[in-house]
Structure 1
Amino acid sequence: MTKQPVEQIVFERLRLAILHRELAPGTQLVELNISTKMNVSRTPVRNAIQKLSAQGLVDIIPNRGAFVVNPTMDEVIQAYTLRRELETMAAKLAIEAFIPADFEAMKSCIVNEKIALENKDINAYLTANKEFHTNITSKCGNRFLNEFIGTLLDKTDIYLILFDSYFDEGPFSAKSPEEHTLIMEALKIGSMTEVDSLLHEHFEQAIVSLSSKIKEFKNVEDLF
């Protein structure tokens, strides 16, 4: 078996700590502390932190250091509000383009979403959720619109990882699969008025579900 580079080991340990909510938003990642704890040089630690930053999980602030991303509630609301507007626009452009195979794909995403919620598997949930929305927006025929939506999907995925209360409260508190089913049925009958209303409600619910109440976070030094 090929031994993993130290940089990859550090990267994966920190990444999983963030994804599993062991590290609180805003936690500072101090290169010296991590390198000392792991008995490695600072270079692989620095490179691992840079990779985390590229994935949007860490903010690197000049003259201050690296911190687990910590969005304000205003930023969360802005991201979801813009997503709602852009996805509504995409749905309007796409509503005449759907074929039966598209709805089958959406149904499959909803099934996978339910399974992920029951298993409290946030990564599988995010994948199914993203695929559902992409199945809608990818039919709009506007590459730039899809690029902007993709960027916002990645950003809001991070917010879900950090703050979504569904994974604290249990699988049956999530309304997303039911909301997605209603959106799909509205698209089937071609009712843009209903799709618009359902998307608005869906994103409002997403904002409400987010919580800054973080439980059982660890110090970064305790991870190694």
Structure 2
Amino acid sequence: MAIAKKQSIKVQIYNHLKDAILSRQLPPGKQLVENDISETLKVSRTPVRAAIDLLANEGLDIKPNKGAFVTSPTRNEILQAYDLRKKLEIMAADIAIEHLSNGDFIVMEDCIRIEKEALFTKDMPSYLKANHDFHMVYTNKCGNQFLIRFIEKLINQTSIYLILFDIVFDKETSAVPYGYKEHREIMWMFKQRKRDELVSCLENHFDNAVKSLRTQNEYKDLKGIFR
């Protein structure tokens, strides 16, 4: 019973922290102090540490002997990540264009549908999964396991930047979601086997993704997210 209860506390803390990051209540660079969290919740540091370890696997910045922080990339780091991802995905797409099947296009279409709904309802978790799955459909068809692995890692990394900075998910934004439309164009170029146009679509897609990032938001105190 004690183990189950400890597991439940860990999951609750994890969900609180993750939701706070997803909803942009915690700022990039914010330190997650175990003592503060455990004192606020009146629990031991063990489940708090376990929850932070779970978040570390999803891109939380862990500094040895210094603590855990919400990742805080510089704009140059963000640009480098997107630029590398763009180049690698174009490479994968050039190989995959001859190997995509009707079944692959059905999966891509489904991803676009889910993505569109998630964008307009501001359902970030659903959007991130649909976005990930769309890009991995053609990435997986390139047949190069090293390329696949690197691209997926970059997708996961840039997803963190979307969580922290994409203006489409601002609560008061007037920005109109557009990403799903670009995915539809990308899929169409795959279907038509138009390599040059496909490259152009992918370049525009990643360039627009960077343009939609904003690095200033309103944030909460760490203790405030548990009230």
Given the two structures, how large is their TM-score scaled by the length of structure 1? 0.93
Give the Cα separation in 2 of the matches to 1:126 and 1:54.
16
2:122 is matched with 120
- Taking the aligned partners of 1:40 and 1:61, their CA distance within structure 2 comes to 24
Note the C-alpha offset of 1:196. 0.7
Alignment of 1:29-178 (within 5 A): 29-56=32-59, 58-168=60-170, 170=173, 173-178=176-181
Give distance in 1, aligned partners of 2:202 and 2:167.
20
Q: CA deviation at 1:155?
A: 0.5
The SS at the match of 1:8 is: helix
Q: Deviations over 1:61-93 (max 9, x none)?
A: 234322111111111111111111111000111
Relative to the length of structure 2, the TM-score reads: 0.92
Letter in 1 for 2:27: A
Q: Secondary structure at the match of 1:60?
A: strand
Paired residues of 2:167 and 2:175 also in contact (CA < 8 A): no
Letter in 1 for 2:142: C
Structure 2 match to 1:223: 225
1:212 aligns with 2:185: no
Unpaired runs of at least 5, structure 1: none
Unaligned ranges ≥5, structure 2: none
Q: Is the 1:119–1:171 contact (alpha carbons within 8 Å) kept by the matching residues of 2? A: no
Q: Percent identity?
A: 47
Q: Would you say 1:26 and 2:29 are equivalent positions?
A: yes
Specify whether residues 100 and 170 from structure 1 end up closer, same or farther in structure 2 by C-alpha distance, changes over 3 A only.
farther
Shift of 1:149: 0.6
* Secondary structure of the corresponding residue to residue 173 of structure 1: coil
Give structure 1 regions of 4+ aligned residues with deviation exceeding 4 angstroms: 169-172
Task: Check 1:29–1:172 CA distance in 2 against 1; reply closer, same or farther (3 A cut).
Answer: closer
Count of residue pairs the alignment pairs up = 222
Question: Which residue type is aligned with residue 194 of structure 2?
Answer: S
Equivalent residues of 1:120, 1:171 under 8 A apart: no
Q: What corresponds to 1:12 in structure 2?
A: 15
